[in-house]
Homo-oligomer: A and B are copies of this chain.
Amino acid sequence: MRVSTLGTFPLQKPHLPEESSKTVTKQPLPEMVSSLRLLTLTSLFSPSFTRRTTVSLRRRLHLRPPLAAGFSVQSAASSPPETEDRLDHKKSSRAQDPANTDRVITPRSQDFNAWYLDVIANAELADYGPVRGTMVIRPYGYAIWEAIQDYLNVKFKETGHSNMYFPQFIPYSFIEKEASHVEGFSPELALVTIGGGKELEEKLVVRPTSETIVNHMFTQWIHSYRDLPLLINQWANVTRWEMRTKPFVRTLEFLWQEGHTAHATPEEAEKEALQMIDVYTEFAYEQAAIPVIAGRKSKVETFAGADKTYTIEAMMGDRKALQAGTSHNLGQNFSRAFGTQVMDTLALSESKSKIRKFTDENGQRQHVWQTSWAISTRFVGGIIMTHGDDSGLMLPPRIAPIQVVIVPIWKKADEKTGVLNAASSVAGTLKTAGLKVKLDDADQRTPGWKFNFWEMKGVPLRIEIGPRDVSSGSVVISRRDVPGKQGKVFGISMEPSILEAYVKDRLDEIQSSLLQRAISFRDSNIVDVSSYEELKEVISLGKWARGPWSASDADELRVKEETGATIRCFPFEQPQGTKTCLMTGNSAKEVAIFAKSY
């Protein structure tokens, strides 16, 4: 039996240096932190604070944000065994050089990874946990995950799935049973060996994925074809002892949903696997504005344990591919390993009219046909890396925790009440209309500071209300996705029905504009190739190569070896016409997409 590798995190098993077992990062001496922070905080809360200009405020405020400090702290204390965990970039280029500390976010074009980490820190999406490779998902980041959950949870139920919960501790023997033919899964496992103060007789695996325990239970619940299809899902945490970690994209523990289904026929299982990759695809396009390419994995890239793996592949801002969700047709691999079978001799087929013989040719009871499918908190990383820009995060309205931020502006004390009343009334109007609205009426920050802050947090629309707006009964509205004056419209009426319609239209426009922009970016970075030379050229430019492929697994591995690119998928959407394999010159049925990936 083959090992389960369901999910979005590729299993990589590098040989580890000795440091890898060091799990807890050292914290700096409390006195040191205090003095550093005291300096900053004293500046922030000094009486002269509110007189500073917006620009210098912004520089000042971000001098040493707590989160960036948190990241630097860990990067200083931990020894990342692999280069992808590049947190020491910050240490070397900024944190240790006071002159460099006042730029908020590394420009995306300058260093994509540093930009990514800066955005996560400054937008307060996540922070490092005390154990190497773990992540604390902060409220703003978690709210994005909740938006993902809310949408998918409804879709899963609409398509007949029920939520449930399986224990996270799995007897080691289950994994062995299933993984006996797969080398090196164990390097990824976290094992509980002590429970209740005693050494356990059998080690327990902390769930890296649940096919084994799911099948153990399915075997007890499924007896008749009437028990099928069995369609379940769970929202859970999973643990994989990853060495090259990166917030959201690859962490030691992450959150996901894992769907598990059992069916009476291979056709039903195939239909289910395709249905769920479609659900993911629709989610990516419609909600996250990420124009993923859906397709089938090559045999080499198919997860062990699956007969077929379907995937959605997203192009990040640095043009690397992110596997953003997968759906596996598991065939009978797990049902055979765990004896999950139906004992009826006759069964109704899915059409409910045709009797189907429910034994195989040898009169054996039939093992069920299964699927599994998952999307994880990695998707949040995909959203950041698809839409963000030099100013920070940019969130599609449909998954933004805050869709509209309202910034009241006043100078004189006698203006304040009128402005705040109007702002509050506008906030009320939009909340009643079902929008997610934040009124930032804090006294301590200037409007300029607030503009930058909420831009950095990726809020799609900003409404400004000053004394003159109050007089004219109108507001100023700025789009996050159109910088500067182009994105700013004056004189929108505060009249509730007009304002509501205007704001909703703009949010729809932004949603659609982010998707269109991402489609253009994606399409301008996928190049059709007809030879291996062309493929190498395209990959070396950082782009995706698409070309006919019918070569061997060995050829596929050679491409990976020589270019760093892998087959991301054979896309469902295939060009017409005859095709000639770019590698062998033989005829090919399909084009494949090659790219470097996360």
Please determine whether A167 and B134 come into contact, CB atoms closer than 8 angstroms.
yes
Closest to A142 in B: B164
Q: Is A154 an interface residue (CB 8 A)?
A: no
A138 to B233, CA, bound (A): 11
A192 to B172, CA, bound (A): 13
Please determine whether A190 and B197 come into contact, CB atoms closer than 8 angstroms.
no
A141 to B232, CA, bound (A): 13
Give chain B residues whose Cβ lies under 8 Å from the Cβ of A196.
16, 20-21, 187-190, 241, 243
- Could you jot down 24 A-B contacts, CB within 8 Å? A16-B197, A16-B198, A23-B171, A23-B195, A37-B343, A41-B344, A45-B224, A66-B220, A66-B221, A129-B169, A130-B171, A130-B216, A134-B167, A134-B169, A136-B164, A139-B162, A139-B163, A142-B162, A143-B162, A168-B237, A169-B190, A187-B196, A190-B204, A191-B195
Closest to A344 in B: B45
Interface residues on A, range: 35 or more
**Residue in B146, B166, B224 whose CB lies within 8 Å of A136:** B166
Interface string of A239-268 (1 = CB under 8 A from B): 101010000000011010000000000000
Q: Is A431 an interface residue (CB 8 A)?
A: no
Please determine whether A199 and B21 come into contact, CB atoms closer than 8 angstroms.
yes
Please determine whether B24 and A202 come into contact, CB atoms closer than 8 angstroms.
yes
Instruction: Tell me the number of copies of this protein.
Output: 2
Please determine whether B198 and A21 come into contact, CB atoms closer than 8 angstroms.
yes
Please determine whether B23 and A201 come into contact, CB atoms closer than 8 angstroms.
yes
Give chain B residues whose Cβ lies under 8 Å from the Cβ of A21.
195-196, 198-201
Give chain B residues whose Cβ lies under 8 Å from the Cβ of A166.
129, 136
| Chain A contact surface mostly | mixed
Q: Is A236 an interface residue (CB 8 A)?
A: yes
**Residue in B22, B66, B187, B343 whose CB lies within 8 Å of A34:** B343
Q: Is A395 an interface residue (CB 8 A)?
A: no
Q: Is A193 an interface residue (CB 8 A)?
A: yes
Please determine whether A23 and B202 come into contact, CB atoms closer than 8 angstroms.
yes
Q: Which 7 residue pairs spanning A and B have beta carbons closest together?
A: A139-B162, A196-B241, A134-B167, A129-B167, A191-B194, A21-B198, A187-B197
**Residue in B41, B171, B187 whose CB lies within 8 Å of A223:** B41
Q: Is A174 an interface residue (CB 8 A)?
A: yes
Give chain B residues whose Cβ lies under 8 Å from the Cβ of A174.
130
**A191-B188 contact, Cβ under 8 Å, with A23-B171, A23-B200, A162-B139:** no
| A137, A139, A344 — most chain B CB neighbours (10 Å) | A139
A201 to B26, CA, bound (A): 13
Closest to A444 in B: B226
A20 to B198, CA, bound (A): 8
Give chain B residues whose Cβ lies under 8 Å from the Cβ of A422.
none
Within 3-33 of A, Cβ neighbours of B (below 8 Å) are at 16, 20-24, 30
| A21, A30, A37, A213 — most chain B CB neighbours (10 Å) | A21
Q: Is A170 an interface residue (CB 8 A)?
A: yes
Give chain B residues whose Cβ lies under 8 Å from the Cβ of A188.
196
Please determine whether A343 and B193 come into contact, CB atoms closer than 8 angstroms.
no
Q: Is A206 an interface residue (CB 8 A)?
A: yes
Q: Is A496 an interface residue (CB 8 A)?
A: no
**Residue in B16, B241, B253 whose CB lies within 8 Å of A167:** B253
Interface string of A104-142 (1 = CB under 8 A from B): 000000000000000000000001011100111111011
A166 to B253, CA, bound (A): 10
A119 to B173, CA, bound (A): 31
Q: Is A447 an interface residue (CB 8 A)?
A: no
A20 to B239, CA, bound (A): 25
Determine how close the nearest CB of chain B comes to the CB of A76; give it in whole angstroms. 14
Give chain B residues whose Cβ lies under 8 Å from the Cβ of A236.
237
A190 to B174, CA, bound (A): 19
Q: Is A101 an interface residue (CB 8 A)?
A: no
Given contacts A137-B164, A169-B190, A188-B196, 18 further A-B contacts (CB under 8 A): A23-B202, A30-B339, A38-B343, A41-B223, A41-B344, A66-B223, A127-B220, A127-B221, A129-B167, A139-B164, A165-B255, A167-B252, A168-B237, A169-B239, A189-B195, A189-B196, A192-B192, A193-B194
